[in-house]
Amino acid sequence: MALERTLSIIKPDAVAKNVVGEIYARFEKAGLKVAAAKMKHLSRKEAEGFYAVHRERPFFNALVEFMISGPVMIQVLQGDNAILKNRELMGATNPKDAAKGTIRADFADSIDANAVHGSDAAETAAVEIAYFFAATEVFPR
Ligand code: GDP
Ligand code: MG
């Protein structure tokens, strides 16, 4: 198993629902450790830059509007197979398709407001972590 780091964001809908702690508990129970964390209200520019790969998608503007609608919790999770493990904890993008017991099945309302973000591969994880955290802000766990 590979020790990995991944970028996780608890999106504005889940922060507003006051389930940050419940989501952190799922990370911890799965063996993922929080190696960095910050709460932030993203600017439009930051949200557009973060989701730049989706720039041409029809849902891009709605996604950016949603991501800047309130504060988010941003964290680096570290652990064995952290990238895939976090994706499994999150569940499918559309909460309607998300497996029972996943974060999105339990806390998300729609494909727009779907509670969490998680990096999808090692390359994107590295880019996304560096987008929000300096190397000195990420702690070996
Ligand atoms: P994720 O990796 O599971 O978060 O999904 P993607 O990387 O494919 O998409 C990024 C985010 O854009 C998702 O989490 C959704 O919030 C949003 N999104 C993706 N696909 C759609 C869609 O078909 N319609 C809408 N409205 N939003 C979408
Ligand atoms: Mg994605």
pLDDT by residue, tens only, the chain of 141 residues: 799 999 999 999 999 999 999 999 999 999 999 999 999 999 999 999 999 999 999 999 999 999 999 999 999 999 999 999 999 999 999 999 999 999 999 999 999 999 999 999 999 999 999 999 999 999 998
pLDDT of residue 122: 98
pLDDT of residue 1: 76
Q: How far apart are CA 124 and CA 5, in angstroms?
A: 11
The ipTM estimated for the assembled molecules is: 0.97
- Contact (CB, 8 A) for 31 and 86: no
* Ligand 1 atom index nearest CA of 90: 3
pLDDT of residue 53: 97
60 is in an annotated binding site: no
Pocket of ligand 1 (CB under 6 A): 54, 59, 62-63, 93, 111-112, 114, 117, 120
Residue from 11, 56, 111 whose mutation best tests the ligand 1 pocket (most atoms within 8 A of CB): 111
